[in-house]
Amino acid sequence: MRKVDATSDVLWQVIESLEALDYLDGPLADHHCADREVWVFRPVVGGQRMYLKVAFRRVPEGPESALVIWSFHQPRFPMKDPSC
């Protein structure tokens, strides 16, 4: 398996180009925070399937939300096909 160069620029390009076909699962309960949910995606980056888990978090002192990237790496386990 070839290593993917996962710089912050690459990560933001991946997030900006996510499509419905990249969706894998979610919303799921966030085991770090009971009142937050996470979503899992499986985009292809540089010819490699990647695992991407994100959450949205309300920013203190305002109505804005922040994107929290929990994981971005090559899968450690086989990922299910979302079309099944």
pLDDT digits (tens, 9 = 90+) for 1-44: 556 666 778 888 999 999 999 999 999 988 877 778 899 999 99
Burial class (CB in 10 A: 0-12, 13-18, 19+), 41: buried
- 74: pLDDT strictly greater than 70: yes
pLDDT the model gives residue 10: 82
pLDDT the model gives residue 48: 86
The rounded distance, in Å, linking the Cα atoms of 68 and 65 is 9
CB 28 within 8 A of CB 84: no
Query: Which of 74 and 82 is assigned the larger pLDDT?
Result: 74
Domain regions of the chain by residue span: 8-73
Structure-token pair, residue 44: 């292809």
Query: Which of 54 and 60 is assigned the larger pLDDT?
Result: 54
pLDDT the model gives residue 29: 86
Non-local (6+) Cβ contacts of 64 within 8 A are 58
Query: Which of 46 and 22 is assigned the larger pLDDT?
Result: 22
Burial class (CB in 10 A: 0-12, 13-18, 19+), 30: middle
